[in-house]
Amino acid sequence: MAKKQLFTLEYSVRCSPPILYEFLSTPAGLQEWFADKVDEWENVFSFSWNGTVEKAAVIDKEQDKFIRFRWLTSTKDEYFEFKIEKAEITNQTILVIKDFAEKGEIKDQSQLWEYQVKDLFHRLGN
């Protein structure tokens, strides 16, 4: 199996970090845009799409700053992360998504994130 590569996507969001963090770090928030159904038990999130369940552990987080997940089926050094930054000059909120994919799948994976983030922005009123 080819080693997956880290890739990063950035989106400007018209939303305060605490509100955005709720959509990125809670089952109710993630269920609004990321998966059909989301449950959490002892820092392991279960994400359901069309009846298929994938589980991810929270491996690191800081309130209103970032949350990092690792799929239970992934290697220890792979993760996906939602990070909230503030642009220094404009004071805009920036959502930074980091994920891993095989080199030939980065474009498709990025398009999937684009679709998901559009749904998030719709929920946020962006």
Report percent pLDDT > 70 for the chain.
98
> pLDDT value at position 90?
87
Task: For the chain, give every domain's residue range.
Answer: 5-124
For 77, 78, 94, the CA distances from 5, given in Å and listed in that order, are 11, 9, 22
Say which amino acid occupies 29. Answer: G
Which strand (E) or helix (H) includes residue 51? none
Q: How many helices (H) and strands (E) does the chain have?
A: 3, 7
The fold of 5-124 is: Alpha-D-Glucose-1,6-Bisphosphate; Chain A, domain 4 (3.30.530)
In this prediction, residues 4-28 reach a mean pLDDT of 96
> pLDDT value at position 64?
97
> Could you read off the pLDDT of 60-76 as tens digits, one per residue?
999 999 999 999 999 99
At 126, the pLDDT band (50, 70, 90 cuts) reads confident
How many CB atoms neighbour CB 43 within 10 A?
11
In this prediction, residues 67-89 reach a mean pLDDT of 95
pLDDT at 1 exceeding the cut of 60: no
